[in-house]
Amino acid sequence: MKIPSLKIGQAVADQPIIQGGMAVSVSTSELAVAVAEEGGIGVIGGTGLSMEALRLQMREARAATKGLLGLNIMVAAREFKEAVLVSLKEKVDVVIAGAGFSRDVFTICKEWKTPVITMVSSAKVALLAERLGASAVVVEGCDAGGHLGTEAKTYDLLPAICEAVSIPVIAAGGFATGRDIGQLLELGAAGVQLGTRFLLSDECTVHKNFKDLLINAKASDLVRIISPVGLPANAIRTPLVEKHLAGDKSIRPKSCDGCLKKCGHEFCILEALRRARDGDYERGLFFTGKRFADINAVEPVKKIFADLLQETRTYLERVLEKEGSTPAAAG
């Protein structure tokens, strides 16, 4: 059975899978290229990178693959527009904007003839994005890692948003298997975005300690926090998180680079995410989707794709068999 491709504007991915753009050097060129080579959309997380570092990441990825590449950038980042322009100049295929809503990105990307994908959490915002020129929307529910825009689950949000807009709707938020993909496609999603599943890949360049932490942690180790960005997030309970939850002021930053347009300054999120990337358990902030405990091994992207696609086919074939066995279908 052929799984449907994913069309975003003029860009067509052979497989309906987008790799989550995990920020502060988690989703780097090596991971993005590996995903793009398998027919998905490989994404570089631009938040937390200098413009020169982002330019080098994009350039390196573009030279390594003819597959589809995306930029994921937080609207809350102070250099949001600059990051979008750097990526467009390096021939990125799609721009994904989250953690806020920007009207400017539609104007910029229209001039460059590049599709924009907006993260949304309601039919109202999805409709606004479509009117402004979004080529697709990502519906991200409360089970995702990173910064969340809703307390609702993706499964509950998806039907109304699919009905409200005519552009592709991509489901995200705590998905890890091909069965998940099959169920979401059946519900009307055009594609699925996976973050943690690809963090736990050979090609993701985070420190081994980060991967080992997720592989060995239990579901009960996950807690909900409000990050300095002002949005809720799912993170592994670590010493830094314990201090944050307790209101410990000793973790407040001594200085500030002003990386965000608005920041609560409870701790330096940029530094905490960098420390997580480098495997610092004591001082790192380890974001993850809620389904991390369902992933039991770190594997190559090629194997992850093969397993996901086989599981998706199996699920969809079973759905077709059940539909074909109904009296109405038989008649």
- Residue 119: give its domain's CATH number: 3.20.20.70
Higher pLDDT, 265 or 200: 200
Are 263 and 191 within one domain?
no
Are 106 and 216 within one domain?
no
Residue 188 · residue 169 · CB < 8 Å: yes
Residue 323, domain member (yes or no): no
Higher pLDDT, 292 or 260: 292
Q: Quick one: average pLDDT of 292-314?
A: 96
Are 152 and 301 within one domain?
yes
Higher pLDDT, 148 or 237: 237
Instruction: Reply yes or no on whether the pLDDT at 76 is more than 80.
Output: no
Q: Quick one: average pLDDT of 191-196?
A: 96
Instruction: Reply yes or no on whether the pLDDT at 330 is more than 50.
Output: no
Residue 326, domain member (yes or no): no
Which secondary-structure segment (H or E) carries 73? strand 68-74
Instruction: Reply yes or no on whether the pLDDT at 328 is more than 50.
Output: no
The answer to which of 221-230, 258-267, 320-329 has the lowest mean pLDDT is 320-329
Residue 233, domain member (yes or no): yes
Q: Which range of residues forms the domain containing residue 124?
A: 6-205+295-311
Q: Quick one: average pLDDT of 157-166?
A: 96
pLDDT band at 101 (very low <50, low <70, confident <90, very high): confident
Residue 328, domain member (yes or no): no
The answer to which of 6-10, 57-61, 166-170, 230-234 has the lowest mean pLDDT is 230-234
Are 259 and 302 within one domain?
no
Q: Quick one: average pLDDT of 32-49?
A: 95
Are 153 and 41 within one domain?
yes
Are 132 and 231 within one domain?
no
- pLDDT computed for residue 267 by the predictor: 74
Instruction: Reply yes or no on whether the pLDDT at 261 is more than 70.
Output: no
Structure tokens at 48: 């937390």
Are 180 and 219 within one domain?
no
Are 96 and 168 within one domain?
yes
pLDDT band at 45 (very low <50, low <70, confident <90, very high): very high
AA letter at 233: A
Rounded to whole angstroms, the Cα distance separating 152 from 181 reads 19
204: Cβ contacts below 8 Å, ≥ 6 apart: 26, 27, 28, 30, 31, 198, 211
Instruction: Reply yes or no on whether the pLDDT at 327 is more than 60.
Output: no
Residue 96, domain member (yes or no): yes
Are 269 and 303 within one domain?
no
- pLDDT computed for residue 326 by the predictor: 52
Are 201 and 229 within one domain?
no
Residue 318, domain member (yes or no): no
Residue 170 · residue 117 · CB < 8 Å: yes
Instruction: Reply yes or no on whether the pLDDT at 133 is more than 80.
Output: yes
Residue 110, domain member (yes or no): yes
pLDDT band at 329 (very low <50, low <70, confident <90, very high): very low
How does the average pLDDT of the chain come out, rounded?
90
Instruction: Reply yes or no on whether the pLDDT at 12 is more than 90.
Output: yes
Higher pLDDT, 251 or 59: 59
Residue 71 · residue 18 · CB < 8 Å: no
Are 305 and 271 within one domain?
no
- pLDDT computed for residue 91 by the predictor: 96
Higher pLDDT, 93 or 143: 93
Domain count, the chain: 2
Structure tokens at 103: 């009207």
Rounded to whole angstroms, the Cα distance separating 212 from 206 reads 11
Instruction: Reply yes or no on whether the pLDDT at 85 is more than 70.
Output: yes
Are 213 and 174 within one domain?
no
* Integer angstrom CA distances of residue 127 from 61, 137, 176: 32, 10, 28
Residue 317, domain member (yes or no): no
pLDDT band at 25 (very low <50, low <70, confident <90, very high): confident
